[in-house]
Amino acid sequence: MLRRFRLEEPGSVAEASELLGRFGESAKLYAGGTELLLAMKEGLVHYERLINIKKLRNLSEVGEKDGVISIGALCTHHELETSTLLQQKLPALHKLEQNVANVRVRQCGTLGGNLCFAEPHADPGTLLMALDAKFVAEKSSGKREITAEDFFVDAYETSLQSDELLTEIRVPVPAQHHRSAYLKFGYLERPSVGVAVAFNLNGEGLMDVKIAVGCAGPAPRRVAEAEAVLNGRSKEDAAASLPQAGAVAGHASQAMSDLHGSQEYKEHIVGVLLKRAFQSAAG
């Protein structure tokens, strides 16, 4: 049973933003509700008003323009796992979306909602960081772009202002020699560790290496220290340096001991996933 709340159904982003500004902390944006309604059922949060933004239809499209893949924040995971554009241009993200939670969560849950709820044990944020994604935040007075790295502040906390909506996720179309992979591990209902790897691989070796770790700590994060271990190396040298990169990434993951495992266990798994993700991406 949920406690009573009033439903608002704005027809525009500006209207939704205005409602957020007017009602402040007593109102919350509501899309798929796959995380929000669970927290409300548990009594962890309560809102007097839910602002249903699913009527904002122009936020559910996947498109490509000027070298950027644009993903509407209201795209459900199911819409993304069935997007041929995503499958062709961002196969690692497409595969990730196929494996979010379960078929019912994918049916209703949105990518935007997943990112904004900022549950530590989630997948997309980690890979989007490694893909240099930018998030578009809009309010009545205008819009701004936030890099994925600047978006995640802490567990359940993003850098969105209280009257901003996440409307779009923008990912640069990868270059031809770009490789990426995301792997996760977990035996509970949510992932315990997630690692994303991306790089350009040509005759000279690995360039622009991006490594991101998620789920183990409070928020996903890029690991520049591990990237430096692999960057500029030949494929073979990089493969030989994976244990070192894995150890660095593990320590940088801010792993916390909890039901998902001890800190040491998660750090170890980070190293394992990094090695496997690298192998999967490099071929």
Partner 1 sequence: MAKAMTRHDTQFLPLSFTLNGRLQELDVEPHELLLDVVRDRLGLTGAKRSCDVQVCGACTLLVDGRPVSACTTLAFEVRDRSVLTIEGLAENGKLHPLQQAFIEHGGFQCGFCTPGMILAAKALLDENPTPSEAELKHFMHGNICRCTGYKKIIESIMAAAKTMRGSS
Q: Does 84 bind partner 1 (CB under 8 A)?
A: no
Query: Which helix H or strand E contains 138, and what residues bound it?
Result: strand 134-139
Q: How far is the CB of 239 from partner 1 (least distance, A)?
A: 29
Q: b/e per residue, 128-162, with b = 16+ CB within 10 A?
A: bbbbbbbbbbbbeeeeeebebbebbeeebebebee
101, 207, 247, 256: residue in contact with partner 1 (rule CB under 8 A): 101
Q: How many CB atoms lie within 10 A of CB 231?
A: 18
Task: Please identify, among the stretches 3-11, 57-65, 201-209, 240-248, the one whose residues bind partner 1 according to the rule CB under 8 A.
Answer: 3-11
Question: What's the CA gap between 110 and 91, in Å, rounded?
Answer: 18
Choice between 93 and 209, CB closer to partner 1: 93
Task: Please identify, among the stretches 102-110, 169-177, 227-235, 257-265, the one whose residues bind partner 1 according to the rule CB under 8 A.
Answer: 102-110
Choice between 2 and 153, CB closer to partner 1: 2
How long is the chain?
Answer: 283
94 contacts 74 by C-beta, under 8 angstroms: no
95 contacts 182 by C-beta, under 8 angstroms: yes
Q: Per the structure block, which two tokens stand in for 216?
A: 């183990």
Q: Does 259 bind partner 1 (CB under 8 A)?
A: no
- Residue 16 main-chain phi, psi, to 5 deg: -65, -45
Q: Does 4 bind partner 1 (CB under 8 A)?
A: yes
6, 22, 143, 144: residue in contact with partner 1 (rule CB under 8 A): 6
Choice between 4 and 65, CB closer to partner 1: 4
Q: Does 103 bind partner 1 (CB under 8 A)?
A: yes
Query: Which helix H or strand E contains 80, and what residues bound it?
Result: helix 77-81
Amino acid at 105: V
Query: Which helix H or strand E contains 264, and what residues bound it?
Result: helix 263-282
Q: What mask of x and - would describe binding to partner 1 in positions 132 to 161, judged by CB under 8 A?
A: ------------------------------
Q: What mask of x and - would describe binding to partner 1 in positions 28 to 47, judged by CB under 8 A?
A: -----xx--xx--x------
Question: What's the CA gap between 154 and 67, in Å, rounded?
Answer: 31
Choice between 119 and 208, CB closer to partner 1: 119
Choice between 102 and 176, CB closer to partner 1: 102
Choice between 84 and 102, CB closer to partner 1: 102
28, 77, 78, 233: residue in contact with partner 1 (rule CB under 8 A): 78
User: Under the rule (CB under 8 A), what is the footprint of partner 1?
Assistant: 1-7, 33-34, 37-38, 41, 50, 78, 98, 101-105, 107-108, 189
